Structure 1
């Protein structure tokens, strides 16, 4: 094997590694940082919260150290004193180093307290290479031992190629995230894929000459040699440093612990969904490996594989069961940690993917006392005809059954998928784009560039097809989709646990749901088939045109997954997002300063008056338990300060009123239980700042925070809420 010809050694931090490393020693008086700190949550075990902090430095640094300090209790618990928690010094592990950078990870373990607690960390002597930035202590918050986590969910955190970034005020919604975090801290943020957009690699990066090749055969046969690999490696690294170091996203990275899965834009647009013979070409294999390397490092704080594919390194051209073999040339000036144990949160696939020839990494972890999380890696194994291997689903459900059998206190499973699964069908559009009717236009495009924007630069097919092929509702994925939903229904019924699905990718907000056919007469609180799909996308990328959102809303039919299961979108958007519930009474106008009195911003109408199901505006979601220590009782329930009046005359409905009959079959786009009643801006959950108590002790509140105007650089939002009941055990 290739490793026999590569020196194996131990670095100064004690990590076993492979490769010689850059053989340099920094003489800087401080710890030179390129980007970071990035904070991750990993898992909880034995009364401890486990996480990690990553920094990326110049090469040659020695023994970075982090100081972790208890910073007090949160909110009403601030008077509680803890005398036995002192500062701790934590050393770093080197994950990877080459002649330009080093990746260092600090593993954190923090004891849960009987109250919500703050923790401060600071990296000794750290200075930024970018002198405009200043290193400062960071603070994060963990829930009490009896509390579930307050969750932020986001996706599509970047811009598509050609977007006027300035016109969309950059990543403005992260300002709103930080404002919400200051008012009521998030314990974790779930990244649903496309945390970064790497598509520019083919427009202004090293793949530009390859993309310009007109002959598909020549493009498929183009080699991915070490020179191109090194150029792509540099491009992906620089893009991560630029994006992850950009405020306000960088501010959130250091204080809200992340858990991420990836999607196509973390690699390149449409990766995995082009035709098989094209996806197997050398260039796609190569960029898949490079993107995977930096995905593991930046998003998972995990050591990368020993090398990536190149056509001029024979050891790497055929992946084995364990992935790509080591390439001595790549390791001449690089160090890679080799004794990096898999975190117990990972559910590792049994065999490498077809194009990213590494093992998939799905995630299981517990989000506090009663919520479990599973994120399915739906990109590593993806082809045009499959999303995940059957054996991958098996090991995921084996893990879920084991965890829920061992912990009967778990009441919810939050399942993260890269794309929505309860979403309008677009089969008719697939048929049009795949039909012979498109052939003459394709010919004119190939010969004369006609309708250039309609076809992609990779395989010459209609550009929308790779996006449509990504969807679970695409015709080739319908069987896999149905089987996954049936497995979730079985799991939900077996463990009496409510399943809530999160999905992004589609660049608009919506709420889909599966539920039992109303003819069965099963109330949602007892319905194991009731599974909402919170669709939150994008937090940064621009939304689709209003006409697309309106078309999708028109396609919001009541579909039948099977004879017992129906699905449709909830009509949650009672009005367009605005300040104080109105936009000068007109379709276009100005909002008089968002919540903090900022300058007036232009607000344009988002949707047609008939569309209450899809929202083409940037957004993110908040999920938390609908009952906590601050939730008012039935007798004391009152309006939340700053909230709009609710459908219950300003009062939070008593938790006892949790049962409600299902809506008639013809009306299931409307509320089908008390938590959906009044869904929208008037719902008690709309603010995202206070538990409603609407769905009882173990229900969930969900808030979609939707951007009011893209010209508002402070990113102010309007809230839309609904609640999810826990699943009552049926005797």
Structure 2
């Protein structure tokens, strides 16, 4: 081969049918793939075909320097999770290779995605993947295998849930030991692997863009009118693009979070901090300003790439390109300036896991991306995109709710083996009302103080830099319990109740955002005399936040606990928080031994100290409902089906067991008395809720709540000074729903 031919082979035309733009032309001819960040592992869905084993579908993403050759990923079986399990012989193909697809490339970086799939086995299995030739820019060896776990064909997934994975502007990161709780996640994962980790929003905090980033000059403008009229030109767009990308690289490449990213498949929705604090909840005329529209587009671009492994829109909003300011039903029109030296994949097919909204959102001018998938044998999952369509007065369009519930009803009709729906919302829905605080912040009494703040800076950080309102008001407006979302919230709960009743599906809701841990519940009023096992209105709301950000002060948590009234959603439905926190983390006998060890740097238990051999008190003596300490949650079946490999001979795929026939159905709980305190346990799975509950450790199935029950664990940080992030556990269990043919609903609603 001549030198001319070799050089010619290194030139690849970029302008083809698979993308737009011209992009860098010189292709790297070395065998090394210089990675900037990754690999990032995602779970997408499972597909069922009765003629063979169900298929697990996912993806792997790496971000590299530009002008690389097409990389390849190799996937191979890595043995049973339990090596003592009998008959653990892998079925289906052995090693599989997957070619990388280029999603996006500009002169600085390239995003490569590998769509992978594998057959579920008769046993819980480990799988190993490797991308050959991977090296980090800083010389670190990346050419090593990553391993993840997949449940057996007969099991549901073991779920990790987290939210608020970052720090608010101004937080002393060192005082909070950085993202320390991810060390605890990895310890738990090593003992009993997670099959999926669900991100409830704020997987990254991009708020610094207005403090030490390109939005600082705009933020410093004192006149609200001038701030609203400020243009979002190409220079600012490019600077914001660089800021968001580098912030993702910094955070997603930081251990121990980066280690979890490559070993536990992710499944995410987004929230405001993935864009900027309060996005969507400021006044409409301010949200429609050029800068907010611009950063909404840039944040959405990197949200799709990093969190969903999807190709972004070809262009984002900029005032220098008039076409991009008029968004049509298909999104933002092409801006040739943005595409200079850039490639964007344009033939990317939507995965069936996504439920795409019918029209663009009001401020993020793209269609919402809701998720449905199945988490193993008996658990369905739905994540509602509660940010793309959000305004101060709505969370989602009515048409989007219809799309979601039509899809859910279709899935439950087609698959009668499903027993649970895990519903993910960005914010809690069963949570204390704070309307009295909203009224104060919005009242005329605040007006004189706002004036002094505007003219003389009086009030400091009490007012936000965007629209001049009280800084906490956008957070309160985010809540489903905010007065302007009252009707939408009630309608959503009623739709969930109808779905649960029609399909006999237990619904457990996940929510984050509020930087503390709690368990809310909806349930039928005690006067109706319905046991929880037959109560389609019983829906727990697992509130787990934050895994990284600092919690609110103790006084705020205690105030919320005092507001923990028994609220009446409607004539038949009540709601309140469960008093699950029987003590502060680290104050029990189990944790104290580890506390003293952690102070000396030798902890091996569940606890940690504050550097003085003591554990700080986190809550008031009367507060058993809210916990202001970093945390994450674990959800798993309380009666997991034995894997098919544990019995001989192994059944065929079509005959594989889908239920634990040995586990008894739940014994009906005696309904609480009409005047019982519903803040206390109201069924057998809630009895003894807290550190003494069998589910508290988060490692072993409890066997509670009968066949198809769920165990819920809140793992709560003991001390922020512990760099290893040791936690204490609080548990309870959730029964499956069995409406039954003889069920009679004595309530007013159908």
1:204 to 212, 222, 228: 212
Deviations 1:330-367 (A, max 9, x none): 11211010110001000000000000000000000000
SS in 2 for 1:439: helix
Give the C-alpha shift of residue 580 in structure 1.
4.7
Match of 1:617 in 2: 629
Deviations 1:55-107 (A, max 9, x none): 00000011101110100111142662337642112100000000000000001
Match of 2:46 in 1: 44
2:550 to 531, 536, 542: 542
Match of 1:650 in 2: none
2:732 to 705, 722, 725: 722
Match of 2:68 in 1: 61
Alpha carbons of structure 1 residues 78 and 17: separation in structure 2 relative to 1, 3 Å: farther
1:711 to 689, 699, 721: 721
Match of 1:638 in 2: none
Whether contact under 8 Å (2:101, 2:114) holds in the other structure is yes
* 1:469 has 2:477 as partner: yes
Match of 2:356 in 1: 348
Give the C-alpha shift of residue 686 in structure 1.
0.3
* 1:430 has 2:438 as partner: yes
Alpha carbons of structure 1 residues 598 and 216: separation in structure 2 relative to 1, 3 Å: closer
Alpha carbons of structure 1 residues 656 and 446: separation in structure 2 relative to 1, 3 Å: closer
Whether contact under 8 Å (1:77, 1:116) holds in the other structure is no
Deviations 1:537-576 (A, max 9, x none): 0000000000000000000000000010000000000000
Alpha carbons of structure 1 residues 601 and 582: separation in structure 2 relative to 1, 3 Å: farther
Which moved further from structure 2: 63-72 or 126-135? 126-135
SS in 1 for 2:303: helix
Match of 2:78 in 1: 71
The 5-angstrom pairing of residues 52-131 of structure 1 reads 52-75=59-82, 76-77=84-85, 80-82=88-90, 85-131=93-139
Match of 1:524 in 2: 532
Which moved further from structure 2: 229-238 or 87-96? 87-96
Match of 2:687 in 1: 677
Deviations 1:467-525 (A, max 9, x none): 00000000000000000000000000000000000000000000000000111100110
The 5-angstrom pairing of residues 524-603 of structure 1 reads 524-578=532-586, 580-581=588-589, 594-596=603-605, 601-602=610-611, 603=615
Which moved further from structure 2: 140-149 or 574-583? 574-583
The 5-angstrom pairing of residues 133-152 of structure 1 reads 134-152=142-160
Alpha carbons of structure 1 residues 140 and 434: separation in structure 2 relative to 1, 3 Å: same
Alpha carbons of structure 1 residues 424 and 589: separation in structure 2 relative to 1, 3 Å: farther
* Aligned-pair Cα RMSD in Å: 2.2
Match of 1:5 in 2: none
Extract unaligned runs of 5+ from structure 1.
Answer: 1-9, 632-652
Match of 1:358 in 2: 366
State the alpha-carbon separation in 1 of the partners of residues 254 and 171 from structure 2. Answer: 18
State the alpha-carbon separation in 2 of the partners of residues 397 and 600 from structure 1. Answer: 47
Whether contact under 8 Å (2:531, 2:668) holds in the other structure is no
Extract unaligned runs of 5+ from structure 2.
Answer: 1-11, 49-53, 644-662, 742-750
1:33 to 28, 35, 47: 35
Whether contact under 8 Å (1:12, 1:62) holds in the other structure is no
Give the C-alpha shift of residue 179 in structure 1.
0.4
SS in 2 for 1:401: helix
| TM score, norm. by length of structure 1 | 0.93
Whether contact under 8 Å (2:427, 2:514) holds in the other structure is yes
SS in 1 for 2:263: coil
Give the C-alpha shift of residue 20 in structure 1.
1.1
Match of 2:699 in 1: 689
State the alpha-carbon separation in 2 of the partners of residues 163 and 441 from structure 1. Answer: 26
SS in 2 for 1:254: helix
Alpha carbons of structure 1 residues 711 and 318: separation in structure 2 relative to 1, 3 Å: same
State the alpha-carbon separation in 2 of the partners of residues 368 and 83 from structure 1. Answer: 18
Match of 1:7 in 2: none
Match of 1:305 in 2: 313
Q: What is the number of equivalent residue pairs in this alignment? A: 701
Alpha carbons of structure 1 residues 580 and 630: separation in structure 2 relative to 1, 3 Å: farther
* 1:293 has 2:305 as partner: no
Give the C-alpha shift of residue 695 in structure 1.
0.6
Give the C-alpha shift of residue 658 in structure 1.
4.4
Give the C-alpha shift of residue 579 in structure 1.
6.2
State the alpha-carbon separation in 2 of the partners of residues 193 and 419 from structure 1. Answer: 9
Match of 1:481 in 2: 489
Match of 2:25 in 1: 23
Whether contact under 8 Å (2:586, 2:607) holds in the other structure is no
State the alpha-carbon separation in 1 of the partners of residues 33 and 195 from structure 2. Answer: 28
State the alpha-carbon separation in 2 of the partners of residues 134 and 393 from structure 1. Answer: 43
